[in-house]
Chain A
Amino acid sequence: KAGVTQTPRYLIKTRGQQVTLSCSPISGHRSVSWYQQTPGQGLQFLFEYFSETQRNKGNFPGRFSGRQFSNSRSEMNVSTLELGDSALYLCASSEFSNSPLHFGNGTRLTVT
């Protein structure tokens, strides 16, 4: 099976802009989670989607949003970008709630 695919791999944006990141899960996986990884904070949970419904959300401002489509593909959006949003954004999929996550290669976002 193909792994989790994230696009794009790299993004450079300026403050105030918005960005959309895309994730295609492993075939058959219905749960998609998003994480932000920075050197200081480690992996921080953003949100989890299952069957097009957001089931859980981390402690991030409303500028961070996401959605999941009927084919399980997911997107996350960050509006009004800030310098502190520079990070590696990781998408992960799993088969069931108790199953391990399988990560994509991530999108490296740089905000200037």
Chain B
Amino acid sequence: QKEVEQNSGPLSVPEGAIASLNCTYSDRVSQSFFWYRQYSGKSPELIMSIYSNGDKEDGRFTAQLNKASQYVSLLIRDSQPSDSATYLCAVNRITGANSKLTFGKGITLSVRP
């Protein structure tokens, strides 16, 4: 099983719709979870971080974490063409003084005008 898996894409939604991006992870002791957005030819940009079970909302973005199911998701409400990008799920595991952030392979979102 891969450490961090994202549902296969690409994902295409119409403008104004809700885009749902999912991610599962294998390491139960993972402690922090992040979503990054990467536009073509650019570096990843942090859009959400979540550390405890439940939902966290920031503008049109909502991150959801369920540690029992080892599942983290990102909802994008009122999707805009400017949201078209690759979204990367990242999971952090801390062991003592060491931390290791593992990324999923990403899912490409396309928002159709």
Residue pair B43, A103 in contact (C-beta under 8 Å): yes
* Residues in B neighbouring A35, C-beta threshold 8 A: 103
B70 within 8 A of A: no
Residues of B close to A101: CB separation below 8 A: 34, 46, 90, 101
Q: Which of B42, B43, B102 neighbours the largest number of chain A CB atoms within 10 Å of its CB?
A: B43
A48 to B54, CA, bound (A): 30
Instruction: Please classify the interface of chain A as helix (H, G, I), strand (E, B), loop, or mixed, using the class held by over half of its residues.
Output: strand
Please judge, given known A-B contacts A43-B88, A56-B99, A90-B44, whether A97 and B104 are in contact too, CB under 8 Å: no
Given contact pairs A42-B105, A56-B99, A97 touches B44 in the complex (Cβ within 8 A) = no
CB distance from B2 to the nearest CB of A (A): 10
Main SS class of interface, B:
strand
CB closest chain-A residue, reference B49: A100
Interface residues on A, range: 20 to 34
Residues of B that sit less than 8 Å from A by CB: 31-32, 34, 42-46, 49, 51, 88, 90, 92, 94, 97-106
What are 7 inter-chain pairs, A to B, with CB distance below 8 A? A31-B99, A43-B44, A45-B102, A48-B99, A97-B98, A98-B99, A100-B32
